[in-house]
Amino acid sequence: MNKDSIIIFIDPIDNNLLHLEAAILGPMSTPYENGIYLLHIKLSEEYPYQPPQSIIFKRATMHPNIDEYGKFMSELFKSESWTPAMTIKNILEHVWARLAIPNVDSNECDPVRAQSYRTNRHQFEIDAREWSIKYANAT
């Protein structure tokens, strides 16, 4: 799947360009395959010079870089790592890529989910797939 086909839509919420709703498809050959993942992206008034304030998965998603409240965590969205060249499309591509390949070796992960991923990846992927079917309409 090429990255141009991963984004289903991006729309402002209530015509507010700092609050976006987006949907992406789950990466192929992962527990997230065929899922539709709805996101709420909150941008700061300084965007693109500052990273998004938050990226929230609106439905439950079992992933090491997504906490129990749906907050997506990535070192890329820290001020010291951020570049103004990142477009909304680039942000969504990064989220999609992180779904495919979690980063469990950084501080940007849910510690319980990261530990589960590290110690019993097979069971973690079974559980993640079940959540994808239940919450992201994966088939």
Q: How many CB atoms lie within 10 A of CB 15?
A: 7
Structure-token match 């990273």, residue found? 51
**Residue numbers of the domain that contains 30:** 3-135
Helices (H), the chain: 88-100, 111-119, 121-135
Domains contained in the chain, number: 1
Instruction: Encode the chain (139 residues) as per-residue pLDDT tens digits.
Output: 555 579 999 999 999 999 999 999 999 999 999 999 999 999 999 999 999 999 999 999 999 999 999 999 999 999 999 999 999 999 999 999 999 999 998 889 999 999 999 999 999 999 999 999 999 998 7
Q: 98: buried, middle or exposed (CB in 10 Å: 19+, 13-18, 0-12)?
A: buried
Q: What is the pTM of this model?
A: 0.93
